[in-house]
Amino acid sequence: MNKTDELASTHLGKKSEGSNNYNPSLLVAIPRYENRKQYNINENNLPFEGFDVWHAYEFSALTENGLPVTRVLKLRYDCTSKFLIESKSLKLYLNSYNMTRFGSNISECIEICKEKIEKDLSEKLQTRVTANFMENNTERVEIFKNFNNIMNFVDEKTLNVEKFKEAPELLSTENFQNAKNYYLMFDSLRSNCRVTHQPDFGDLFLYYKSKKHILEDSLVKYLSSFRSEFHFHEECCEMIYKRLYDLLEAGDELFVCALYTRRGGIDICPARWSKNCVVEDVFKLADIKEFARGSLKQ
């Protein structure tokens, strides 16, 4: 067992009682470098920018007089951080707030929780983590309106998918004289937790600008090949980015984002883009202020 799996196994795959009182010691940080080095991603010269956004839909605490306060919690930190947070440890940590009393009223409770969460996670991950609470979890910032379902460009009758372990050799391209913009969405991304092997489902959003055209049927086959992979969400996003980055030409624009569905009350939404990619131009219909705050969902 490597160091990453050893750390991830602190809580994953085990019966955990958690804590009825606020307990930051439950948090477990996972180093990013072990998975990155498999794909020749240089920690000191990352080929992308980006962030990880987490949504915890079941955060709750108490005021000093015992009044329950429940909100959706949004967390954001940069992909340049040396560590990512292990999801079950985060859930146990957030659950430790459930029966703990903070503040004389709801506003004070929320502010105290925000300060503690930002401090604890920033110290654990050795990077700046921002936390915000949302009162309404039914709204969604529609920043992917101009992305098209990749299956609209594929003849599924002739498509034969046979490989279900990550297979970059499936990717193929054709060349054009001029660079073109591509906005694609794949709604059947599936990978698996590297420790518990439980399935994780999500939507993959891809933008690139290049003289190279990545054939859509080859993209479907490649993205489908993650179906039997065992990695964290952030790792899958970076793997896909790096494979496409290596396939395209120097100077091409590239953006990859995976919006995974929630599991255990938490979803993870990693986004990575090339340093020459102007994100505001990618999302012409986006609420840019929300995106700049790291908001992929609201």
Q: Out of 52, 120, 200, 217, which one is annotated catalytic?
A: 200
Nearest to 148 by CA among 74, 107, 205: 205
What's the length of the chain? 298
Nearest to 169 by CA among 272, 246, 70: 246
Catalytic, 281? Answer no
Bin 13: left if φ > 0, else alpha if -120 < ψ < 50, else beta: left
| Distance of alpha carbon 8 from alpha carbon 21, whole angstroms | 23
Nearest to 59 by CA among 9, 107, 117: 117
Nearest to 191 by CA among 183, 199, 180: 199
Nearest to 143 by CA among 246, 8, 290: 290
Q: Out of 113, 193, 257, 277, which one is annotated catalytic?
A: 193
Catalytic, 200? Answer yes
Beta carbons within 8 Å of 42's beta carbon, 6+ residues apart:
none
- β-strand pairing of 49-62 with 266-273: antiparallel
Dihedral of the alpha carbons of 43, 221, 55, 271, in degrees to the nearest 10:
40
Which residues are known to be catalytic?
193, 200
